[in-house]
């Protein structure tokens, strides 16, 4: 059985364009949530884990949010995002296993999550 806890599983899907979950746009409920945030939120440290093609990150960036970080362990969508948003700070594009992030190094005010399907890695299929 394929292991959804492995980066290769997801990387292959992006490389083969087999991404049935991908909305191709910022999720409308999350866009509505972002749109009602106060101006002060634009400075806050926001994490989008398992961001994939990261439409939410792109939208936040376009709206002037300056401290947004995405994490994904598949490199293909991150590379595609970096091409679409050449002005997005590269140090906020983290290609890593979410579970390996150091809490000392990475701290955020809040998390915006869209179908990350967070799995406890101690549970193997």
Ligand X SMILES: C[S@@+](CC[C@H](N)C(=O)[O-])C[C@H]1O[C@@H](n2cnc3c(N)ncnc32)[C@H](O)[C@@H]1O
CB of 17 vs ligand X, minimal distance in Å = 13
Q: Considering beta carbons, is residue 34 or 72 the nearer one to ligand X?
A: 72
Q: Considering beta carbons, is residue 22 or 108 the nearer one to ligand X?
A: 22
Measured CA to CA, the distance from residue 61 to residue 68 in angstroms comes to 7
CB of 33 vs ligand X, minimal distance in Å = 15
Beta bridge partners of 71: 49, 94
CB of 80 vs ligand X, minimal distance in Å = 11
Sheet holding 46-49, edge to edge: 93-95, 68-72, 46-49, 110-111
Q: Considering beta carbons, is residue 108 or 116 the nearer one to ligand X?
A: 116
| Interacting residues toward ligand X by CB under 6 A | 10, 21-22, 50-53, 71-74, 77, 97-99, 114-117
Measured CA to CA, the distance from residue 123 to residue 35 in angstroms comes to 37
3-state SS of 105-120? CCCCCEECCCCCCCCC
Q: Considering beta carbons, is residue 80 or 97 the nearer one to ligand X?
A: 97
């Amino acid at each position: 059985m394929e292991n959804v806890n492995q980066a290769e599983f997801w990387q292959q899907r992006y490389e083969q364009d087999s991404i049935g979950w991908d909305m191709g746009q910022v999720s409308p409920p999350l866009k509505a949530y972002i749109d009602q945030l106060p101006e002060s939120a634009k400075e806050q440290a926001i994490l989008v884990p398992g961001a994939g093609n990261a439409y939410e990150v792109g939208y936040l960036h376009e709206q002037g949010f300056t401290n947004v970080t995405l994490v994904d362990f598949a490199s293909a969508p991150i590379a595609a995002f970096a091409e679409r948003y050449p002005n997005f700070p590269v140090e906020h594009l983290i290609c890593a296993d979410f579970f390996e992030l150091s809490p000392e190094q990475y701290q955020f005010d809040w998390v915006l999550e869209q179908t990350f399907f967070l799995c406890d890695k101690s549970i193997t299929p």
